[in-house]
Structure 1
Amino acid sequence: MRFSRRRTLLAAGLLAGVLTACTTQVTAPPPSPSPVADGHALDRFYDQKLAWGDCGAYATGQQSQDAFRTPGVECARLTVPLDYADPHGQTITVGVLRHRALDPANRIGSLVMNPGGPGGSGMEAAARLVPTVVNNAIGLRFDFVGFDPRGVGASEPRIQCLTDAERDADRGGNPGTADVAWAGQARDFAAKCAQRTEHGAAMLANMGTRDVVKDLDVLRAALGDAKLSYLGYSYGTQIGYSYAEAFPERVRALLLDGAIDPGENDPDSLVAQGEGFSRAFDQFATECARHDGCALGADPARARAMFEGLVQPLVTAPAKTGDGRVLSYRDAITGVVEAMYSSQSWAFLNTGLGLLRHGDGSILLRLADAYYERAADGKYSSLQAAYYAVRCVDNERVTDPAAVSSARSRMIAAAPFLGWGRPDQGELDVCASWPVPSTSRPHRPTVTSAAPPLVISTTNDPVTPYQAGVRLANLFRGGLLTVEGTQHTAFLHGNMCVDVAGLDYLVDNTQPAPGTRCRA
């Protein structure tokens, strides 16, 4: 299982261009809401009892239906304020899934996890990890809990932007379309998110990490835990360290795998991610060249040219697939990016590239569908819409044309293999048109928690750079576990060295020895 910070580096259609015509000034985030006048206004949320039951009604698609059939899981809805500054106003719900500790006599408490995104379903991810954790100390000594952050998955209401049909059409767009057209589509996308989501702009205004960590603290109380034990992957690490900043005295343990650099702005983070995917592609090409039948040939130095020769014809002539759909140029690039998340996918990618050489785009299309979380029945999860809803209020807006142009140049230089010299800058586009202001901005957290985290960072992680984990561990005075490999995140992926260190930390708060390294 792969957990991701963001899965839209190469989002298609309206997400492929750069907004150059917008002249709106950068909007500074508003101040944090003042404490509510009634000090007990949130008591009804903190004191609520969760009504656990069968998870079937919580499924939003085929993937979650399958996951929620996992034996031993139960689900509930957590009620939280739509706006914490108005606790007497509208309420929304957060979906929660639990697998009870198998050794209740030695139960430590709950271990709450989030898989990243933003927009990933913690309920689904937790359910899929249950067969792994039941065989280790997590399953024995913790209630293993996953939650869908507000607006995501089983949480209600869900963020709604494009229909499934609109998403399919968007993925087939021509990369040569002018910037002005992309700018218009970005504005249209943002407007649809506000129009089609229940509570509209009010929901969008309260979708950020600032609000998610408040929901997490309400969940901690509803689970009956005095302090939080938390496992966060990728963007989930941002939730974890943001919680520690907001509620330092309520932290028991934080295991943060695939760390986000808390002080890095959006353009810089996108450039760093482009560099990571580019390095992963080069490593794939080098490994592929060692074997007979490599679709990119036996010379890694020529792999990028070979790759461009395979995918460039798709701009005007999409490849056929076995299910009547076609593989667009953008979907081919996206399928390759999906495979870069883990070297375990490289053999499958090579097969897909080999089939593409013969006009068959079926495997690359399957990879792209996995990236976008499109199920076999054509339905998409809420991940992509929720991703923008969170990112656009978590970061300062970039609307100055010169700054956007600079970001474009840096992204092209960082990741030339990603296609036609125009890697995705869609996040900058859409967020410049977002209908509500930012509620936070990247910054170095003020660290006062007495419970230091364990940060796991992988040397060639294509999504979250290794040095981001090093910086986060130093900032929080926490432990650092280095994993040598090319993959995104490592804990509970079957590596005994990583898993033993992580379990020791979660159970006993024991940090690995300084300088500890594991091989993926």
Structure 2
Amino acid sequence: MRRSSPLLLVLLALTACTSVLPGDPGPGVRLEKRGPAGAVPQGLERFYGQEIGWGGCSAYADSTTTRALYRDRPSLECARVEVPLDYAAPEGETIRIGVLRRPATGDRIGSLLLNPGGPGASGMEAAVSLVPQVLSSEIGARFDLVGFDPRGVGASEPRVRCLSDAERDEERLDVDVDASPEGVAETERENQEYAGKCAENTSAEFLANLGTRDVVKDLDVLRSALGDEKLSYVGYSYGTHIGAVYAETFPANVRAMVLDGAVDPAQDEGDSLVAQGAGFQQAFEEFAAWCAGRPDCALGTDPAKAAQAFRDLTRPLIEEPVAVQGRKLSYNDAITGVVQALYSSQLWEPLNTGLTELKAGQGQTLLLLADTYYGRDADGRYSAITDAFTAIQCVDSPRDTDRAELAEVARRYRAAAPFLDDGTPPVGVLDVCAFWPVPVTAVPSPTAKPAGLPPVLVISTTGDPATPYDAGVSLARVLGGGLLTYEGEQHTVYLQGVECVDSVGTGYLVGLALPPEGARC
């Protein structure tokens, strides 16, 4: 479910604050007070009604990628909003949520907040990437487009930090396919060490308050501080889980929600993983069919033999990585680069290029795709996306320590995605979360429409590899919302240039009218 865009790196220390907007806001910062608006929980009034100091966005960039995104964009405003570290103790330590806004240009309805998924992806960067799509659209005219970096992510302070950049490079070379008892023990030892480094480099108190339970409360603070009585929201991938939990927690505070690329609220972790494997297998087969029609296809002209050709091409990397300009392409990175490319048919061309290079003993394109997945910039600095993904997952999901069950899930996953079979027997290995230093804080997704929730719109893509189509059908049913089916091969689609989908989604956000039952694009 992880999706898109490099984030920032440096872990900042937690600090106690006595006021919501501490100190001099600084030159070029404009103070704005629009809240409190709408419902305000008792004891949180100072957060819901805080002033926000808006200024330029360059100070929020800490990588070559983000600096390029924010450069020369005078229409963008950035700020940080104060929230409690622990909502059970709002008088205690506070943290800050990074926020980016592109103001409406016409008859403003309010703010449109968005989350691009992950967990761990930057909503600020996602908002910047969507600006070209909304410049001349009704969304850009009627809404302030607002991206926020969830706690622990991107420009929010502090950030999750587990590994250094050098440690992350080294970790990517560690294949961990030894299925022997000794190999399993070694992998579990490494997972335990990783969890320990997360606790060492990010405080346990912060890790304990990092999950979706807390993100949806931050989202409600943002709603009010931005001056909106009701929330208008677009969530992609894991962002649909944020939306569903918000709907369960604050149903009366919702104005409109577009949930695109749904996480199925009815599936357990094992079933969800297997379903995702089947989704990537479907995407691989679509790629193989496309590739087979080309004279330069790296996997040959017979799609039925593509999976075996792929395994034959990638498995040698387990024993011998490929040298790439002072680095190495490992088996893990090759698989990660392929998975990155399978998120969208627009990346099939570079995927074929990468596989063709691998046949020639080269790995630059697949390594670049893997770098994109992990948020590694050209200077060798990593975003926090991988560490944040793990930290959020470990407090959001039940922990499975039954090795027999884990082995069965591994077997089912290989059966669902045979192109990813590394050739070793499936075994049950305790993952990082089994050793996580703080307890699970998950808030269940709704199992029925929350009382008082207005109609929401779910968009689901028939060929989505990461969040399969049926998950969207399930979420729409649970929330009692409308469903728009998109026939395509990609992960999420709204505001990505598909006119039919954009028209339906925008019409709903502006006018609150759902499409007719059975609507398809």
- TM-score normalised to the size of structure 1? 0.89
Q: Report the AA paired with residue 160 of structure 1.
A: R
Correspondence 1:182 to 2:187: yes
Structure 1 residues 117 and 427: alpha-carbon distance in aligned structure 2, compared to 1, 3 A threshold? farther
How do residues 361-400 of structure 1 correspond to structure 2 at under 5 angstroms? Answer: 361-400=363-402
Report the Cα distance in structure 1 between the residues aligned to 2:137 and 2:317, rounded to whole angstroms. 47
Shift of 1:173: 1.4
Q: Secondary structure at the match of 2:252?
A: helix
1:59-458 to structure 2, matched below 5 A, reads 59-69=61-71, 70-103=73-106, 106-177=107-178, 178-197=183-202, 200-321=203-324, 323-421=325-423, 429-440=431-442, 442-446=444-448, 447-458=450-461
- Distance in 2 (CA, whole Å) between partners of 1:403 and 1:202 is 31
When residues 470 and 359 of structure 1 are mapped into structure 2, their CA distance, relative to the original with a 3 A threshold, is same
Amino acid at match of 1:136: S
* Contact preservation (8 Å) 1:76, 1:97: yes
> Aligned partners of 1:441, 1:222: CA distance in 2, in Å?
24
Higher relative contact order (Cα pairs below 8 Å, separated by 6+ residues):
1
Cα separation, 1, equivalents of 2:446 and 2:220:
21
User: Helix, strand or coil for the counterpart of 1:452?
Assistant: coil
Letter in 1 for 2:389: Y
Question: In structure 2, what is the Cα distance between the partners aligned to 1:464 and 1:425?
Answer: 25
Q: Is the 8 A contact 1:94 1:148 kept in 2?
A: yes
Contact 1:201–1:435 (Cα < 8 Å) also in 2: yes
Gaps of 5+ in 2: 5-39
Counterpart Cα distance in 2 of 1:437 and 1:454: 33
Partner of 2:478: 475
Query: Relative to 1, partners in 2 of residues 1:235 and 1:380: Cα closer, same or farther, differing over 3 Å?
Result: same
Q: What is the CA-CA distance between 1:71 and the residue it aligns to?
A: 3.6
Aligned-residue offset at 1:412: 2.0
Q: Deviations over 1:265-301 (max 9, x none)?
A: 2122111111111111111111111121111000111
Check conservation: 1:175, 1:315, Cα contact below 8 A.
Answer: no
Which residue of structure 1 lines up, in the alignment, with residue 8 of structure 2?
none
RMSD: 1.8
Q: 1:417 deviation in Å?
A: 1.3
The CA deviation at 1:358 is: 0.9
Per-residue CA shift, 1:151-195, capped at 9, x if unaligned? Answer: 000101100000110110111113444111110011111111111
Structure 1 residues 249, 227: CA separation in 2 closer, same or farther (over 3 Å shift)?
same
Mapped to 2, the partners of 1:239 and 1:385 lie a distance apart of 19
Change (3 A) 1:482 1:120: same
Paired with 1:492 and 1:5, the residues of 2 have a C-alpha distance of 19
Q: How many residue pairs align between the two structures?
A: 480
Q: Does the residue aligned with 1:51 lie in a helix, a strand or coil?
A: strand
Which shifted more, 308-317 or 84-93? 308-317
1:60 Cα deviation after fit: 2.6
Q: CA deviation at 1:233?
A: 0.3
Q: Distance in 2 between matches of 1:40 and 1:227?
A: 18
- Maintained 8 Å contact 1:412/1:422: no
Letter in 1 for 2:199: A
CA contact (8 A) 1:80 1:93 kept: yes
8 Å CA contact 2:184, 2:429 repeated in 1: no
Q: Which residue of 2 aligns with 1:18?
A: none
The one-letter amino acid of 1:49's match is E
- Cα 1:389–1:188 change in 2 (3 A) is same
Q: Report the identity percentage.
A: 56
Letter in 2 for 1:80: V
SS in 1 for 2:267: coil
User: Of 480, 489, 493, which residue of structure 2 is paired with 1:490?
Assistant: 493
Q: Output the CA distance in 1 between the equivalents of 2:444 and 2:270.
A: 12
Show the counterpart of 1:24. none
- Deviations for 1:104-147, whole angstroms, at most 9, x for unmatched residues? xx100000000000000001110121122112111111010000
Letter in 2 for 1:141: R
Unaligned runs of 5+ in 1: 8-37
Structure 1 counterpart of 2:51, which letter?
K
Q: Provide the C-alpha distance between the structure 1 equivalents of 2:392 and 2:447, rounded to a whole number of angstroms.
A: 19
Three-state SS of the structure 2 residue aligned to 1:480 is: strand
